[in-house]
Amino acid sequence: MEPKDNLYSKAEGILYSYPRLAFEIKNLEIEIKMIENEYTGIKGKSDEIASRTNAVSSSVENEVISKEARIDALKRKINHKRLLIEKIDNAIDAIAAEDETSALLIKLKYIKRLEWKQIEMQIPMDEKSLMRKRSKIIKDKLIGMLA
């Protein structure tokens, strides 16, 4: 596979991921709420003899630190997904500034995930012309913006 084909596939993959990103963000936000609401706290005390150490560590502190780390990781994922949505929106806006039909084609094919026959009803071109136009948009513009 040539590097150009790989970049084309990557750009297409990013475009296809757009509709799913909002659901993934919502799911991660729910996960954060679940973590914030879980509470283990102090469990039964063990009579086991612990080795002497200068480290001060309590189960409650460890739980709080662990929860904060998990929440921070989820927030980073949410931020990454929001930035990816922004990047895709920006690329489509840049295309729209030059050619509204091209932007509409990308939105209909990748964001709304319509079939070519459905796209033909909204853009007065035959399927092969639409496919060539889509390919040209991705190669000439979107690879540089997304891949």
Would you give the distance in Å from CA 62 to the centre of its chain?
A: 31
pLDDT tens digit string along 2-11? 556 899 999 9
The domain ranges of the chain are 13-38+57-146
Query: pLDDT value at position 38?
Result: 82
pLDDT tens digit string along 43-82? 555 555 555 655 556 777 777 788 899 999 999 999 999 9
Record the pTM: 0.78
- Cα distances from 3 to residues 20, 74, 85, 123, in angstroms, run 26, 32, 24, 31
